Each structure stands twice: as structure tokens, then as C-alpha cells.
Structure 1
Amino acid sequence: MLPGTPKRYPLVLLSSIHKRRYKKNSTLRLQKIPGDVLCIVTQGKGMLRIDDQVLQITPNQAFFLTPQMAVEVLLDSDMAEYYMLVLSSVTISKHKGSWSTHAEQTSLLPYGKIQLKNAKQKLDRVKQLHEESKARSKSPSELQMLFQSLIYLVLQDLPEQDELEEESKGIDQSISYMHKHFTNKIKLDALSDIAGLTPTSYSRSFKKAMGVSPVEYLNHVRIESSKQLLQQPDCSIKEISDSVGFGNEFYFSRMFKRTVGISPTVYVKRRELKVAVASCFRYENNLRSLGIEPLVEMNRYTYRNCTDEQNKRFMEAQLDEMRQAHPDLIIADYRHLPFQEQLKQIAPTVILDFSYDWRVNHMKIAELVGREKEAEQNFSQLELKVKYARNILAQTIGEETVSFIRLYSTIIRVQGLVDHPLNELLYNELGLRPGSCVPLGERNRQFALGSLPPFETDFLYMYKHLPLAEEVELFAEVQKTTSWSGMKAVRNNQTREVPNWVGMSWTPIGQHQIIDELLKWKA
């Protein structure tokens, strides 16, 4: 810089902020970078390749990416959730009391991975920024001030990045080696040498970073590759086992079933399988949305008005129906674990882990029956419908509040803002405002029938979880309380009885029906 030339400073501004989900795919997919982007991961694990560098994806991690980068993603988890902040960089200078902007761009942020320290503080700021941006409750200048406070917090961590990343860099290099050489025999000693650690330290550090041991991770890479080969005609299990580095076909089959839930031979025929479900989370409607009619539907729900013996006989009748149907595959949820052995005697049984994100198990079910493309279409169609409904509801409901309750024999349960697909749909995706009694940090909160506190909401949806005779009697008692009669939704006749949205919200079909009900009332 010439003497007397004003010193120039880089400045980064927020152009837009988005919350995104990336669904697992068996192959690496090239991502389009819309501009300079700061991605902050909140859920998910896997690998990110930036040009020739392979990096771990873990929660509470940030990546600064540019359009010039070749970026690919491979997830180990079924999905990843992240915030995408699209940035605009400028250079400014001050001369004789006046500020000027310049054409050249110099970023404040280092390219690639940024490890966030005290991640909760920064994620809270990101969530606030996203919510304020969606609600349009702050002016553009106020949003920029909030964003600058976030950048300040991120920049505070940067001087100490080297010491934090030294061990992580070695782990990343060993993972990159696995992806390049998984078809060969790979020893733990070789991986630990690449990472610059002893085998014991390497194994411990790897599991801490990735959640699994190096051997488990390598097997996962090999199995993901084998899925592509299994879809090719005239390729034997032994040939596939050899080509992805397992060698022993029996070990490969055992590891494949442990990871995927079904054997390689069943996986090959998965699009033609006769499938039954055992689920309290409406897996049958997940199948229907993928174009498959379930052979049998089993549900271990226990009816409150029945005796234990009656419920037991009901379950035995369902198991008998399952046996007589002769399914090729049974997909079950964790609530059916007590019946796992009985189900396995009928047909190969996959019990899916529980997740509050319904999309995770929808994609797992889709993979088990070879309908991944259909699942992606379901996600895309629902995303379009949510976007459409959000705009309509913003015009018709605006700033008014919405609440959902369930009436039981002794309690009223008020649905909250978090930890459930219905909560996510109503208050996050559709952007509805909660009533005064809606718990902000809980899945739901319940109150005794006579002790519902003063409750203000403009619109009230309710599901009565009761037999008809009992429902009429109990609801009459609820209507006598001052909390109920004083509610704005009740005074204005803005209450509506609906089906069980809590159960419906676990599937694409149910989500569409809930949105249709919301739009129908406000039409």
C-alpha cells in the first residue's frame, strides 16, 4: 500500500439466512454454492469434501464455502440439519472522515471448517437471526446488527483454531484414506500412523469425533458402496463382498444386515417385497405415500377402556393375522420391541430407532422398500405445500395465535413448540404464533381438567381422546370453567374439533391433511 493510502478493512454482510435439511443418499452429490456461505450444522454426521480436502461433519460445526469450491457431501446419519447464511463481502476505507467501499473482496472468515467454541451461545444467536428474518419483525439494519454480533463471536475463536484442529486434521486425513482405499485391506496401525497417533489414542479420538470406532466406520463406507453394486444385474454376493474390501461374504452379509436391517439378498428384491408394519407411528401411511399398500397393520396400542386380558387377546389376534398373511418383511417401531422375537419368526423384521424428525424414518422405510426417489418427491411436494400454506396463513391469520389441545379423561394436554412433528409443522414450518399457555421449550404440558390456567389464544384446535359418551360428559365440565369460557377463541367461536393431528403428523399423508384442514378453516 502506498504511503498515505487509507487503510482498508474487510466487512461481511448478511444477504439471507435459511434453515435446510439434507437427506442421506448412498452416493456423493455435488452441491451448488449460491455465493459466499456460512453453513452451521445443528444435526447430522458424515464427511464433507472441499476440493481435495475431506472434513468431518458433526453438530456445532461451521463451514465457510464459496462458489469456486468443489463441494461434495456423504452422510453417515440419515439426515443433516444446518443453517445457511448467504454472505456478501465488501472492503471499506476511511479517508478524511468519510467511508468508502471498494471493488476488491477480502473475507474476514477463513475458508473451510470453523470449529465453534461455546457453540450454544452462537447457535442461539443464529436461531434468533433466522426467526427474526422469517417473522420480518426487525428492520434490515437491526438484522445486520444482530448478524455482526454473531460474526464477532465467531471471530473471537479464530486465533486458537490451530491448537484445536491438529488432532482433528489427522482424523480427517485417515478418513480420507478410508474413502480412497476401502476396497483394499486396511489395518488400524496404518490409519493411526496417518493420523499421527498411537492405535489406542487414535481409536479413542476417532470414536469421540465420529461416534463409532474406525472399524465400524470403514464397514459403513464399504456397505454404502455395496448398495450400488447390489442393484447391478448378474453380480454375486461373493463378488460384491470382494470388490468392496470385505473378502468374506458371510461377514459381509452379517455386517450388511446389522447396518441396513435386511440381508443383501433381501435388499436386491426390496421393490417386490410384501411388507407388513407393526407401528404406533403410522408406518402404514409412510408406505402408502411411497406407493405401497401394507399387507398387514399391527399396533400394540392398549385401549384404556379394555382390561389387560382383552388387550392381550387383541395383540394375539394381530399376530395371528400377521402369520397368516406371510409377509416378506416387517417394519416395526421401538414400541414393538417386546414382540421382536415373535415377529422375527414370521418374517425378517427391522425395528427402526426412534426420531422426533419423521423424515428420518420415512427415508429409512423408503430405502428398505427401494423407494428413495419417491421419498424425495414426498419431501419436495410437502415443502412446496408448506411454503404455499405459510403465505396464505400469514395473510389470513397474521399475528393472531393458534393452539392445539387434547382432551383426556382426567387431563387437558396442550401441545408445545418443540420435540414433535406437529409442533415443528405448526410453529416453525408454517410460522403460526402460539397461544399464551403453549409451552415454549416442551413437547407438551398437561393440566387437570379443572385447573387449566387462564389461556389466551385466537384459534383453538382440539382432539378428544375419549369414547363418545364420556367425551360429552367431560367436555361439558371443561366448558363450565372460567379459563375455558374466558378464552378469546371460545368467545369468538373460533374453536374446531379435528382428528388426531398428533398421530397424523408422523407421515407425509398426515402432514398434507393437517395443512388442508388449516387452509379449509381459513378459506
Structure 2
Amino acid sequence: MPHTIEQILPMPWLCSLQHIQYIQTSHLEPNNRVEYTSSDSHSIVVVTQGQGELMAQDVMFKLNQGMILFVPSDLPVLPLQYGAGSESKLHYYKLNLVSGETSKNASITQLEERSPTFQQTQVISESLSPIELSYTPWSSCLEILDQLLQQQATEDWLKHWDWQLRFQEWFRTLLLQNDSRNASMDHRTRLQQSIRYIRDHYNQPITVDDLAADIQLTRSSYTRQFKEMTGKLPLDYVNSIRLERSKQLLQLTDDRLHDIAQNVGFSNEYYFSRRFKQYAGISPGVYRRHYRQDVRVFAPYLEDFVLALGVEPVLQFSHHSWGKQHYLGLDDVPEFDVAHQDAMFQESHKPDFIMLSDGYERWNLDRFEQVAPTFYVNHRGEDWRAILRSTADVLGKGDRVRDVVGSYEEKAREAKSLLKRSTQGKTVAFLRISATEMVLYGVQQGYVGPVMYQDLGLLPHPLVQQWALQKRRVSIGLEQLGQLQADHLFITFDCLDSAMIGDERKLLDSREWQQLSAVKNGCVYEVDFMAWMNYGVISHGKKIDDILRVLA
């Protein structure tokens, strides 16, 4: 575990300020480096702007605005580094401290109580690392440092004394706020420090008992509060950091799995592989292979996500009643009818990799697990961005996600602006109609609601919110239909339950249908079933196009 200020400075009141400077880096400097090496004095770095990195004892410290780093004397520290670009310029105060020696008359008892033994000092000096601190309020911290900077060039001994006293006051406040024994430090702050420690030392042995003891909490209290803050148990969080790092190593290096496992903190290759499969859904070897070569993928109901990432599936889903997803334009890709429970792959169309959504059980698709490595998507359809990221991750297309999502969000923003002017005060609803039922889709969930009502800001009819509150869909009868007097009505027809062609359209001849305001005013719009009854960036983009065409 990291050392504390108390161990390094057992008598911090004997420290004085030797020098303070304010450094403003420029990306035009050679090699993007700022010289910062070991010295015989302790130093404090206070980052006021930009981002950078500092390497000490083989540990990389990420520097961000608001960070304070105490660097012990004689610690080998590599130069500060920072990225190119004005947004990454690193501005920081650097304070050099002089640590005074104890008086020869100091009591032996006092030294024994407050100072580490000679053996302890040896151990500490061999394993020192910079210590991350914090100071609140931040504005007060910067104000005092600016005063120290402006007033250090004085020849008057009395003013110099005032200068030292001002530093001592600031230094005392800094240490008190970061004293691990200080009960006034709230649990959230201490947990954040613990999380930072995990991120910086994920490849070292970490136990929950040590983490809890370090911030003076019981194991059960630490675990409970940690999960409240992160949504994960401590060791699950540690492993997620390790596994994300292992993904980078699998992508960028040819290191053996054994070496990668050791590098990120796992005890052996077999445990690492098992945890990786649980975490990523595929084995480390398959994950690496997808990043090195194109893959023949079969992803029924998920072709939207695969195609959005620039990967054409080897087969496409189809259904004898619903047909295929024409909106994807996969005209040259062979079809695979999922409704045929015993259908198998032809040898020429056998996939290297299979992706399945949560509907796989309905079609008995898990029978293909023996054919090729299989990845199961565990996100709800409404969280299509997470599905896209998972798909990109397992297919080796992670670099495309930002552009795909960004293009959709820009399209939605522009559409929302246009529709705001043309549909102000007008209500909207969406119905899926079959031969046996009418289904009304809700506002927050389902294929349609998040796009229509959230992304585009359309106004749902009050009964949409009332009947389908927090539901994906709700079945309604003719009496309820007569009450659904929305200004605009989008509909699609589901022919799955039709005994004869056209059975699903008989509703249009009913009196209740004819009495709807949208019907009378010619504001009913039929849309493509497969495009609207799907999740995915392409599907949702098609919905936006259809809505703009009739409402903008």
C-alpha cells in the first residue's frame, strides 16, 4: 500500500519553502517534455490547467487540472509528458521544500514515537512513490499559491518570514485535509482515493481487506459503499480494470497470453482466460484474431449493428412471414430463415463467429454454439449504443463507434430542430397492427418511443403515457382505439398471425378506425415493419427519415 505523508515527513512543521515557480508548457517544445528529475528536496506539483503524465518507480501518474502531487526527495522521476494540442498544455505550480533536521536536544522518546526506525526508513526510501493530495476550496489554494509566487522575491527578512508563515499555513491545511486519520474527511473522498489507487496499481496484488483498512473502514462497510459509488463489488472493479488493459495488449502486441495475464495482475493464464471470456463474451484468442483479420459473422437480428460498423454478415436473418430486413440493402447476402428450427448452415456459408440477441431461445439458435465461437448480447435493445460498443469490441471495430454514434446524434439534433417548428402542440402515437391485436408503443422503451419522443422530441398523445407508462408496449381494444385521438398516427402491419393475405388490415374498415381524427385529416402514415420493429443506428435513422418526410 502507498506510504503516507506522516511516514515521509514525521515532523512536517520543520519543512520550509525553498522556491516556488509557475510553469506553462507549450506543445512546441522539443519532444513534448518538461524536464523534471529527482532532487535532494521534496517538491509539490499543483496542476492548474491541461493534462500530462509523470512516471515514477515504474508507475504512471495521470496529471489533470486540480491534482496535487507530493514528490519525495531523491525519487527518480521521469520528465513530465503531455499530448500535442493547445487543449493539452500543462500549467502547474512547482514548490521545492526544505525538510529541517530535528534538534540534537529532541527527546529520544519523541523521536521513537514520531519517526520511523532506521530499518523502516530504509524500506520506505526503497519503495517511495509520489502521493496524490487534494485541497478544498480549490480557488483558495490557487489564491495562496499566487501570493507565494508574487512575494517570494523579497530581501526583507521580516517579509520573508511572513512568506514562510503563509506557506506553513497552506501546507498545514493541505496535510490536515489529506490526513488518513482525520475523521472529518468524508467517506466519499476517501473512497475516491481508494478507486484512484486501484486504477494506478491494478497490476499489483490487491485485497479488499487492505483497501478497507487503508481508509479505515470495515470490509463490509467498504464493500457496500464501494458498490454504491461504482455499481460494482471491489474485486469485480479491479478485474474490470485489468481486463480492459488486457484488451489493449491483445490488440497492440503479440505477447503470449501468459505474459499478458502476468502484466495486468492475474496469477495465471487459465484464470485470466476464464475471466476474460466471462467479461468480454469471447476468449482472448478470438478477441485478438478479430482485431487482426476480417471475420465471417452470422448475427441474426443484429445485422443492423454489424453493418453500421462496416462488416457485411455472411448470412442475414429472414422469417417466412416477416421477410428480411430490406432497409439494410443486403440484397446479395444469402438468407437464413430462423423460423425453421432445424435449419443448418451450408458449408459455403458457415460463419467463423456468431452473435445472438436475447431472442435466441425463441428460435433455438444456441444450437449453433458448437459450430463457431458465440457471443451473447446482454444489453436491452433500448441501450443500442452499448450494443454497438459491444459489437465493435468483439469484431475489432472499436475505432468506428464514435463516428457512427456521432453521425446519428447529429442527424437526430437537426431533425428535432426541424420538427419543433412544424409539429408544435401536435400529438403523435404509434400502433403495430396484426390480425389478432393492436399494440400501442410507449414513450421510454421499445423500438419506437425513445426515437420519436426522446431523440426527436415529438409530443405523445396523453393516453400513450397513461396506458403504456414505463412499458415497451401495451395491447389495446377497439374502445380504447376510439379514444386515441392523436393528431398524427404512425402504423405498421404485422402479418405473423394472418391466416390469409390482408387479414391484418381489416381493422381499417372498422367504424372506430374511421372516426379517428388522424384518419379523417389524412394524417395516418404507414411505415416499413422491419425498419421500425428493430433496434440499431440504421433502423433508427430510417425512422427519422420517415418522420421527416411526412411531418417536417
What TM-score, normalized to structure 2? 0.59
- Matches of 2:274 and 2:499, distance apart in 1: 53
- Matches of 1:51 and 1:297, distance apart in 2: 51
Call closer, same or farther: CA 1:228–1:500 in 2, change over 3 Å.
same
Q: How much does 1:475 deviate?
A: 3.2
Amino acid in the other structure paired with 1:413: V
Q: Which residue of 1 aligns with 2:274?
A: 254
Amino acid in the other structure paired with 1:276: V
Q: How much does 1:509 deviate?
A: 1.1
Structure 2 segments unaligned to the other structure (5+ residues): 1-48, 51-62, 69-86, 91-135, 140-181, 323-336
Is 1:211–2:231 an aligned residue pair?
A: yes
Q: Which residue of 1 aligns with 2:313?
A: 294
Q: How much does 1:294 deviate?
A: 1.0
Is 1:51–2:66 an aligned residue pair?
A: yes
Q: Which residue of 2 aligns with 1:127?
A: none
CA contact (8 A) 2:494 2:504 kept: no
Call closer, same or farther: CA 1:49–1:422 in 2, change over 3 Å.
farther
Is 1:401–2:427 an aligned residue pair?
A: yes
Q: Which residue of 2 aligns with 1:222?
A: 242
- Matches of 1:447 and 1:51, distance apart in 2: 56
- Matches of 2:530 and 2:459, distance apart in 1: 17
Call closer, same or farther: CA 1:456–1:264 in 2, change over 3 Å.
same
Write 1 or 2 for the structure with the bigger share of strand. Answer: 1
Amino acid in the other structure paired with 2:211: L
Call closer, same or farther: CA 1:324–1:449 in 2, change over 3 Å.
farther
RMSD: 3.7
Q: How much does 1:486 deviate?
A: 2.3
Trace 1:42-441 onto structure 2 (pairs within 5 A).
51-52=66-67, 166-271=186-291, 272-279=293-300, 282-298=301-317, 314-317=340-343, 320-321=344-345, 325-337=349-361, 339=364, 342-355=367-380, 356-440=382-466, 441=469
Call closer, same or farther: CA 1:313–1:508 in 2, change over 3 Å.
closer
SS at match of 2:232: coil
CA contact (8 A) 2:435 2:506 kept: no
Q: How many residues align?
A: 368
CA contact (8 A) 1:357 1:420 kept: no
Q: Which residue of 2 aligns with 1:88?
A: none
CA contact (8 A) 2:419 2:548 kept: yes
- Matches of 1:290 and 1:393, distance apart in 2: 29
CA contact (8 A) 1:406 1:464 kept: yes
Q: How much does 1:284 deviate?
A: 0.7
SS at match of 1:460: strand
Amino acid in the other structure paired with 2:311: I
SS at match of 1:490: helix
Deviations 1:192-227 (A, max 9, x none): 211312334433443444333222211111111122
Q: Which residue of 473, 480, 488 corresponds with 1:444? A: 473
SS at match of 1:185: coil
- Matches of 2:137 and 2:506, distance apart in 1: 64
Call closer, same or farther: CA 1:463–1:457 in 2, change over 3 Å.
same
Is 1:480–2:504 an aligned residue pair?
A: no
- Matches of 2:224 and 2:524, distance apart in 1: 56
Call closer, same or farther: CA 1:200–1:385 in 2, change over 3 Å.
closer
Amino acid in the other structure paired with 2:416: R
Q: How much does 1:186 deviate?
A: 1.8
CA contact (8 A) 1:273 1:329 kept: no
Q: Which residue of 532, 535, 542 corresponds with 1:513? A: 542
Return the index of the structure with the highest Cα Rg.
2
Structure 1 segments unaligned to the other structure (5+ residues): 1-31, 34-47, 54-66, 71-108, 113-161, 305-310
Amino acid in the other structure paired with 1:448: G
Call closer, same or farther: CA 1:323–1:168 in 2, change over 3 Å.
farther
Q: Which residue of 526, 530, 547 corresponds with 1:497? A: 526
Amino acid in the other structure paired with 1:349: T
Q: How much does 1:183 deviate?
A: 1.7
- Matches of 1:493 and 1:403, distance apart in 2: 14
- Matches of 2:288 and 2:409, distance apart in 1: 31
Amino acid in the other structure paired with 1:330: I
CA contact (8 A) 1:422 1:502 kept: no
SS at match of 2:464: coil
- Matches of 2:252 and 2:265, distance apart in 1: 18
CA contact (8 A) 2:202 2:238 kept: yes
CA contact (8 A) 2:482 2:515 kept: no
Call closer, same or farther: CA 1:431–1:166 in 2, change over 3 Å.
same
- Matches of 2:216 and 2:65, distance apart in 1: 22
- Matches of 1:190 and 1:397, distance apart in 2: 59
Amino acid in the other structure paired with 1:461: F
Deviations 1:351-409 (A, max 9, x none): 11132221111111011111122221111111111122112222333322222111122
Amino acid in the other structure paired with 2:438: I
Call closer, same or farther: CA 1:479–1:249 in 2, change over 3 Å.
same
Amino acid in the other structure paired with 1:173: Q
- Matches of 1:481 and 1:351, distance apart in 2: 46
- Matches of 1:450 and 1:164, distance apart in 2: 63
- Matches of 1:196 and 1:469, distance apart in 2: 70
CA contact (8 A) 1:504 1:511 kept: no
What TM-score, normalized to structure 1? 0.62
- Matches of 2:509 and 2:439, distance apart in 1: 15
SS at match of 1:452: helix
CA contact (8 A) 2:408 2:537 kept: yes
